[in-house]
Structure 1
């Protein structure tokens, strides 16, 4: 009833290797060259009597291969071989073949998927595909059961996987009615990353997401010993259970997974090296004395056996829920998933504290309270969470920041917008398709005053163009206004927009500067024409500024790549936002000559000496903040004797020799004798580099990919820092200034807040 399946390891691995390549390969005879080149093939290698040729795979095949490879890494036992997998439906003479793109089977589930893709993002109706797929679901399910026998009763996950297709709300509703799961670009990125980091154990998360509330086979009635009590006024259970039992019903609410039921989402993605360390730790017979924190989203049953009347604690049995995604992990995901990295099935019970159905917002608050003081939590994650945990804050500043944070999340995850899928989530490796940083765009919205501006003396919010009496209303106005504007920016040159940073348009500097441009133009027109902006609809607000943005859109549309880069390539780190913005203003003044935002006139007078002075101060800032962060992080992770533990012996020796040369009264702590290259040697060590990777692995623009940790920027800064130290006859090149800009932008978006404020404030002008 089914087509050819890859079942053994060799067959699956061969298919995986083939599908992992972005191109097709073929060896041909010399005489076939011209006909092959006409079909899009090109010569990769010339042999004596033949040619090795390649051709890029179509976008449709690339999407199919990405999803197939995800299921392979999930550990599915059987997977389709080749494209367009046939399934025979019907009986006797009426039997016909229908084809799907992806088929996968494990002990509990079947995955059947169709894939649709486009080269550039665009709206496309998928109603016909949905209706056709829905009509085939029952006959295909019958064929699967006939093929594998009546004793196999799988859960079937029906999927349509798309890339660069913007789904309409009506199509999404129809897919939900048919029980067809929609997997779009963000979900693909998430499950790719998760499957690479977690391997077969990632399948638990996949099942939780797409089999929510369905019964887990052979799990009903699982009892564990437990204590029922109250924590913070909430019912909670302290119990012991096997990790594999909890994993079958568990769900981790990662911010990287677009799941409306998970809002607010708060977890960062797992770190594979940490999981491996936990696996080795457990294999050595060691154990975790602390509990894993979770929340039951489906109320568990409790059988009381005894009660302590003094403490009001009940002793008994907890009957675990038997549904997928019924148990959400709040804290301890690494400990739980780390059990899957042991050499044998881990049979030692773990201890858990499970809350009885607290809200998802309360989960997020608990997570932040536990992790906000730990350096291991990326600052981008805490920044992204502001929109959830501070949404109802009485502090006006926190309220504005929460609206900005949630706006970035909606712009990134809501279908149909130009910014959909463009913001990289904390823990996900940024690619060319996700050039924006949540913290950077949130800051630009806050600084724009589009929602409002906080009076520093009174603490009262002065309404901005998107102001509303409720946070929900302000959020809706803000998102609508920005979606309208960026739809026009994208439409002006879709190819340039999709290039990300390489196109100098859809990048942090570009998007942030456009947000400021919208705000500044509205403020200028409000003052000129005495308008009350927050009383007008977002579409009317954009109509006001549209004539003056026209020159910007024209330049985006008509400029060559070289012209666009020349105007919008910035070299000043955080102040690059000012320079990009003023380059936009240069275009706007063609239609609105009297438009002159704050700082614009000074920018026009900026001299080469001022450029050099700013670069000097920014290089010194890098030299100041990076050592401070490294040493404090080492002390936090390894204790006060971190220097003896984690600094390479040859570096320790060099520092001690320099310290000996100082007079007695001038001797300083030994770590103060570390120089820049010493710091590079410390952070690139295998034992510590994963802890520093989030902040200090900075890939330079022309640096090849594929490295686990990028430290070449240390060498570049080491060379550049000699320029202000020895200025005679030396000056910064454009390449030097671009490196400084790139490093500062990266650091300001990844360093914890204390390292970019106060004494560590970044020089911007």
Structure 2
């Protein structure tokens, strides 16, 4: 019976020599086939929706896009092939796991085996982001598990491989109960971010990336046949016991693990390492292989061991008298992921594909059982004078490094960072994969989220040792504040996302950007404060209840974005720095106040007055430059080219000519010095230039003063020069008590840019 089961399984497995050819097909986004030209089979494919790729002399190549599920399965299969698993299935199959009942089967999408492990992988994919309940499926696996393990061990009796079930998903969020069940059955969930992480790691390390994978899957499990005895020196440093030794890279690669700051390691916070760089790895590999190079500086690791039998130091009988340091044999843990690489990942992995990985040794300094936060501090200290740690990575590390600090200031920094991580990494968040976590650049930075939360009343105010003022959600309990603020923001922004539809994910939108998060969140804070002032909510109101009271205000924000004019959107997008953030926020306040006049937005009136004054000054400067530095010069130049010395008489309308001449003569009667006398041309106003332009329109000025995009508008020269009438109106009213609006200023800036930057 076992032979029958063995045949059933092996029938679906590829010969190792065929893996690379299959990999080339799996990596494609399409199916590809070729048929004889003119054949009925070719026509059948075309009728079935296949498209022609290439037409050759005797054959035609056709292709068809893979279905969503197949595309994801193939991607997962290709990953494990690239990681160096030497036994893989040909296609999905149902695996019989009970020698007494062939009807008892388990579906397998990817079967991956190497010398020591077997991975049983199921793939689930969705086109759009959804949440799914895998409770029933996981319960079935719980009952099948023993039979599956026994059957695989019977099929591969020589190796008795370690076995792991992996649920791979794309665009699917699991319920928390599902994650709990996976842990209970010793299985693991790989969302597409984890798949992408191992793809990136594989691109850098090749098959050596499998060490990192095995460390993740089988952490704490024994590595067979590992020679773990190392000559070493035991010493003391900074209150810690450490060991200094030299070891073959292959051994350290097997027990080592790098805490890359990535979704793949989110359950192991804090993590802190940058992803290994392929270019640097190649340089190190060449240095070792071709140049005979070596690295005398030590790799720094942290050995994790719960029991003294796993890690112990066997002191030699020969010691140096009165020396603090001791010599002897260090017995390393024979387990996956028992040594965390704090510094030197590139040096270590530079040996991963080297012929010297078992014949060279590398120096190591090993600390023991460091707290993860202490590892982060050590990493930061080591890298302080090397490549700078980015602000977003530093902010991300703060979430873990400062959480247990005795300083309230540090705790709040940690809280802000952890909220940013939650918003960016929780699949149920509308900002999922849109916030820069670590060093993966996205549209919103953790730094901006921290700045925004500083401006809100959500967190209150603290000093190092005291809470000066409790916040809307913070009263001293970090965990409660973290859960409540995250919950409230996710609810509000999810409501906005659903209400805005395609606008939310539209490329180049003004919503999912730093200024957008700042402005909307501060407006939410304003509305919450309004609700508190009117005793609609209090400190005991849940985030869900507060959100429900916010619906009308959120609808107002949705309406604002759906109806915003392009010029206003461009104005908000191009307003940079802190003033730009403030402008965005205040603009939202104005929009909501138009719908809810009863809301008092502190400082809004003063801001608008100040902005209007600044608008006036900026607008008048632009108009003055348009009038005196452009229109006056260009119009005169064109008239001179056409009418020579009689340009003023022939090119200017009679009424303007007479009025300008009279005005100049009147002023000159009061001037004694001839060189100070005024010219008639100096007496013209902005609207006068329009009359001159209209008089000489087709021949001299149509090509110059028609705005781009208005070449074919009806109304002729009157319509095409209407922009001058609008400029004149704004300028004349600007002399009195009128305030230039932001829309008018945007219009003036558009004209200015056109004339000075495009027309010249």
TM-score when normalising by structure 2:
0.71
Judged with a 3 Å threshold, the aligned counterparts in structure 2 of structure 1 residues 46 and 279 are, in CA distance, closer, same or farther, namely closer
Distance 2:594 2:355 in 1: 68
Structure 2 CA distance, aligned partners of 1:483 and 1:41? 43
Instruction: Say which of 301, 304, 308 aligns to 2:312.
Output: 301
2: CA distance, partners of 1:341 / 1:379 = 34
Asked whether the equivalents of residues 394 and 438 of structure 2 are also in contact (C-alpha less than 8 Å), the reply is no
Distance 1:7 1:589, change over 3 A: farther
What's the counterpart of residue 756 of structure 1? Answer: none
Deviations along 1:488-517, one digit per CA (max 9) or x if unpaired, are 2333356554x3745654444444433233
- RMSD between aligned alpha carbons? 3.9
Matched-pair contact (CA < 8 Å) for 1:303–1:318 = yes
**Match of residue 292 from structure 1:** 299
For residues 7 and 376 of structure 1, what CA distance do their matches in structure 2 show?
48
Contact 2:423 2:432 in 1 (8 A): yes
**Alignment match, 2:676:** none
Q: 1:485 aligns with which of 492, 501, 508?
A: 492
Following superposition, the deviation at residue 203 of structure 1 comes to: 0.8
> Contact 1:269–1:427 (CA<8 Å) still a contact in 2?
no
Kindly tell me: are residues 123 and 278 of structure 1, through their superposed partners in 2, closer, same or farther at Cα, counting changes over 3 Å?
A: same
8 A Cα contact 1:504 1:565, kept in partner: no
Say whether the 8 Å CA contact 2:421–2:437 is kept in structure 1: no
Q: 1:193 to 1:437 in 2, by over 3 A?
A: farther
1:604-643 map, 5 Å: 605=612
Say if 1:451 and 1:478, in contact at 8 Å, map to a contact too. Answer: no
- Counterparts of 2:214 and 2:196 in 1: how far apart (Å)? 17
Counterpart position of 2:271: 265
Query: Judging changes above 3 Å, is the alpha-carbon distance between structure 1 residues 291 and 566 closer, same or farther for their aligned structure 2 residues?
Result: same
Aligned to 2:702: none
SS of the residue 1:161 aligns to: strand
Given the superposition, is the C-alpha separation of residues 276 and 35 from structure 1 closer, same or farther in structure 2, using an over 3 Å criterion?
same
Question: Residues 442, 74 of structure 1: CA spacing in aligned structure 2 closer, same or farther, 3 A cutoff?
Answer: farther
Give me the whole-angstrom Cα distance separating, in 2, the residues matched to 1:455 and 1:541. 28
In 2: Cα distance, 1:597 partner to 1:373 partner: 45
Write the deviation string for residues 732-763 of structure 1: whole angstroms up to 9, x where unpaired.
89xxxxxxxxxxxxxxxxxxxxxxxxxxxxxx
CA deviation profile, 1:671-709 (whole Å, cap 9, x unmatched)? xxxxxxxxxxxxxxxxxxxxxxxxxxxxxxxxxxxxxxx
- Give the deviation of 1:160 after TM superposition: 0.6
Task: State yes or no: 1:87 paired with 2:91.
Answer: no
Using the alignment, how far apart are the partners of 1:311 and 1:189 within structure 2? 50
Once residues 424 and 2 of structure 1 are traced to their aligned partners in structure 2, the CA distance between those partners, rounded to angstroms, is: 45
Aligned counterpart in structure 2 of residue 588 of structure 1, from 588, 592, 601: 592
CA contact (8 A) 2:270 2:376 kept: yes
In the alignment, which residue of structure 1 is the partner of 2:27? 20
After TM superposition, list the pairs within 5 Å mapping 1:188-337 onto structure 2.
Answer: 188-219=195-226, 222-259=228-265, 261-283=267-289, 284-299=291-306, 300-305=311-316, 306-308=318-320, 310-337=322-349
**How many residues are paired up?**
611
* Equivalent in 339, 351, 355 of residue 339 of structure 1: 351
Q: Residues 420 and 16 of structure 1: is their aligned pair in 2 closer, same or farther, counting only changes over 3 Å?
A: same
Structure 2 residue 552 is the aligned partner of structure 1 residue 547: yes
Residue 58 of structure 1 pairs with residue 67 of structure 2 = yes
1:406 and 1:136, CA in 2 relative to 1: closer, same or farther beyond 3 A? same
Q: Matches of 1:57 and 1:613 in 2, distance apart? A: 60
> For residues 38-117 of structure 1, what are the structure 2 equivalents within 5 Å?
41=50, 53-81=62-90, 83-91=91-99, 94=102, 98-117=106-125
Point out the more displaced range, 121-130 or 257-266: 257-266
- Rounded to whole Å, the distance in 2 between the matches of 1:470 and 1:310 is 51
Task: Check the 8 A contact 2:118/2:161 in 1, yes or no.
Answer: yes
Structure-1 separation of matches of 2:328 and 2:530: 68
| Partner in structure 1 of residue 543 of structure 2 | 538
CA distance 1:502–1:20, change in 2 (3 Å): farther
Q: In structure 2, which of residues 439, 443, 448 is the aligned counterpart of residue 440 of structure 1?
A: 448
In structure 2, the partner of 1:759 is none
Q: Is 1:384 aligned with 2:396?
A: yes
| Aligned residues of 1:2 and 1:144 also touching (Cα < 8 A) | no
CA–CA distance in structure 2, aligned partners of residues 281 and 487 of structure 1: 51
Unpaired segments ≥5 residues, structure 2 = 1-8, 623-748
What residue is the counterpart of 1:714 in the other structure? none
Q: Aligned partners of 1:136 and 1:307: how far apart in 2?
A: 56
Q: For CA contacts below 8 A with separation 6 or more, give which structure has more relative contact order.
A: 1
Gaps of 5+ in 1: 615-722, 734-765
Using the alignment, how far apart are the partners of 1:561 and 1:238 within structure 2?
65
| Contact 1:582–1:603 under 8 Å retained in 2 | no
Supply the distance in 1 between the matched residues of 2:552 and 2:213 (Cα, whole angstroms): 48
1:543–1:352: structure 2 CA closer, same or farther, 3 Å change rule? same
When residues 56 and 728 of structure 1 are mapped into structure 2, their CA distance, relative to the original with a 3 A threshold, is closer
Report the CA distance shift for 1:562/1:89 in structure 2 as closer, same or farther (over 3 A).
farther
1:407 has 2:411 as partner:
no
Structure 1 residues 355 and 476: CA distance shift in structure 2, 3 A: same
| Cα distance per residue 1:212-268 (max 9 Å; x no partner) | 11111112x610011112211112111221111111111111120444552211111
What is the CA-CA distance between 1:385 and the residue it aligns to?
A: 1.0
Q: Specify the SS of the correspondent of 1:111.
A: strand
Taking the aligned partners of 1:612 and 1:501, their CA distance within structure 2 comes to 35
Paired residue for 1:463?
Answer: 470
Matching residue within 696, 712, 731 for 2:757? 731
Change (3 A) 1:603 1:191: farther
- Partners of 1:309 and 1:415 lie apart in 2 by 60
Deviation at 1:481, TM superposition (A): 1.6
CA contact (8 A) 2:392 2:436 kept: no
Task: Find the residue that maps to 1:312 and give its secondary structure.
Answer: coil
Give the SS at the match of 1:340. coil
CA shift for structure 1 position 119: 1.4
Q: Deviations over 1:137-163 (max 9, x none)?
A: 333334433433x11211112101011
Displacement after TM superposition at 1:581 (Å): 4.1
Once the two structures are overlaid, the 10-residue window that deviates more, 434-443 or 64-73, is: 434-443
Range moving further from structure 2, 375-384 or 327-336: 375-384
Secondary structure (helix, strand or coil) at the match of 1:163 reads: strand
Greater mean alpha carbon deviation, residues 188-197 or residues 113-122 = 188-197
Greater CA deviation, 61-70 or 240-249? 61-70
SS in 1 for 2:431: coil
| CA pair 389-91 structure 1, distance change in 2 beyond 3 A | closer
Q: Secondary structure at the match of 1:375?
A: coil
Q: 1:356 aligns with which of 368, 376, 383?
A: 368
Indicate the structure (1 or 2) with the bigger Cα radius of gyration. Answer: 2
For residue 366 of structure 1, the aligned residue among 369, 378, 398 is: 378
Match of 1:570 in 2: 573
Distance in 1 separating the partners of 2:496 and 2:478: 27
SS in 2 for 1:160: strand
> Which residue number corresponds to residue 722 of structure 2?
none
Query: Which residue does the alignment assign to 1:121?
Result: 129
Distance across 1 between alignment mates of 2:609 and 2:283: 54
